[in-house]
Structure 1
Amino acid sequence: MPKLIRYYVHLVDFICEKVGRFVMYWVFFMMFLLILSFVTRNIINFPLLWIIEMAQFTITAYYILGGGYSMITDDHVRMDLFYGRLKKRGKAIMDICTSGFLIFYLAILFYGSITSLQYTIKTKQKLFTAWAPYVWPIKTLMLIGILLMLLQAFSTLFKDIAKIRNKKI
């Protein structure tokens, strides 16, 4: 594989792994928020308006930003009618065939997230709740997460091509 592609694969894998490992611990922050919500609502009888939405924002960021990492570790969901019976080379060929669909989907999603973020910033969009938080922070994290998944999809494609050619990256 060309040096530029090897550098790209290593860089994207490194970034997605670091982001994924950092975001992995956000689930504890979300659990803290949900416990705090339970305590303030049911024990202290002083419900906080922002807590549930903050937990939703946290789990959304956790899910979206962890997408690239789940692609590296191959922990994503896959339809396994006959994929599991294939050898490594056959799996790589199957992954190459389906990666075009994934890249197309992520590219459209990325474009949509850019236009959505632009609209959100332009209109100063807020949620229609009692807390009424701005939406741009979570949409920015969604844009970053989708970009990381798109970059990781190309990295995975390059790794699959290398497997077919019996080359190392």
Structure 2
Amino acid sequence: MKLWKKIEKPIDFISDAFGKIGWLIILYCMFLGVTDVFLRYVLNAPSLWISTTVQFAMVLLACVGGVYALNDDAFVKLDLFYANFSAKKKAVCDVITVVYTFLFISVLIWKGISAAKMSLMMHQVTPTSVPIPIYPLKIFIPIAAVVFLLVVIKKLVNDLITIFSSQQTDL
């Protein structure tokens, strides 16, 4: 059990770091979003790059926010039945449904790596008047998916510990 706690710590640390990055991205989007509206509608001088970088930031926010939300159990669940389940029943449901999560993450990593490779080989940039590189963003997506996978594995192990612990016997 002590070994598992040592393994959990770096995963929690990375997840918390992603949460802090997400916080900064939200501030970035808020500030530049307001700035873009001000430039466009008040000064009648629209920016050529702000909306594109805010869109990039939103993709990054989905990547880092998903990892943080999963680690902190902040995803919205269909709690119609699940909320009233005991800890063991919740763990059993989570273990059963983790198969779909593994499928989703494996496809995200697989296709994300191929998209990142292609984007990097082509030195892909935005098709706008200010060419902004896309490949750093595409490289980050499979990286975030691997971190997401680590959090899912951590949750799975904790669910298995809950299922096989002898403290509770209600199913």
**Same-fold call, TM cutoff 0.5:** yes
Instruction: Quote the residue 2:33 is aligned against.
Output: 34
- Ranges in structure 1 where 5+ consecutive residues have no aligned partner: none
Q: 1:115: how far off?
A: 0.7
Alignment partner, residue 169 of structure 2: none
| Aligned equivalent of 1:130 | 129
CA–CA separation in structure 2 for the residues paired with 1:87 and 1:104: 27
DSSP-derived class of the 2:165 partner: coil
Contact 1:65 1:141 in 2 (8 A): no
- Who is 2:49 aligned against? 50
Residue 77 (structure 2) aligns with: 78
Alignment-mate amino acid for residue 103 of structure 1: F
Distance 2:98 2:2 in 1: 20
* Structure 2 residue matching 1:131: 3-state secondary structure: coil
Alpha-carbon separation, structure 2, partners of 1:132 and 1:38: 21
SS in 2 for 1:85: coil
SS in 2 for 1:76: coil
Q: What does the per-residue CA deviation read over 1:83-106, in whole Å, with 9 as the maximum and x for residues that have no partner?
A: 122111100110011112101210
Return the TM-score normalized by structure 2: 0.89
For the aligned residue pairs, the C-alpha RMSD in angstroms reads: 1.7
Q: How does 1:1-169 map to 2 (within 5 A)?
A: 1=1, 3=3, 5-166=4-165
1:81-140 per-position Cα deviation (integer Å, ceiling 9, x unaligned): 421221111001100111121012101111111111000001111222222311112112
Matched residues, number:
166
TM-score with structure 1 setting the length: 0.90
Describe the SS at the equivalent of 2:147: helix
Q: Which runs of 4+ in 1 moved over 3 A?
A: none
- Superposition deviation, residue 145 in structure 1: 1.7
Paired with 2:6 and 2:106, the residues of 1 have a C-alpha distance of 22
Mind listing any 5+ residue stretches in structure 2 that lack a counterpart? 167-171
Q: Give aligned-pair identity as a percent.
A: 25
- Partner letter of residue 66 of structure 2? G
Select the structure with the greater relative contact order (CA < 8 A; seq sep ≥ 6).
1
What amino acid sits opposite 1:14 in the alignment? F
Given that 1:65 and 1:144 are in contact with CA atoms closer than 8 Å, whether structure 2 keeps it comes out as: no
Q: Which stretch shows the higher mean deviation, 40-49 or 19-28?
A: 19-28
| One-letter amino acid of the structure 1 residue matched with residue 136 of structure 2 | P
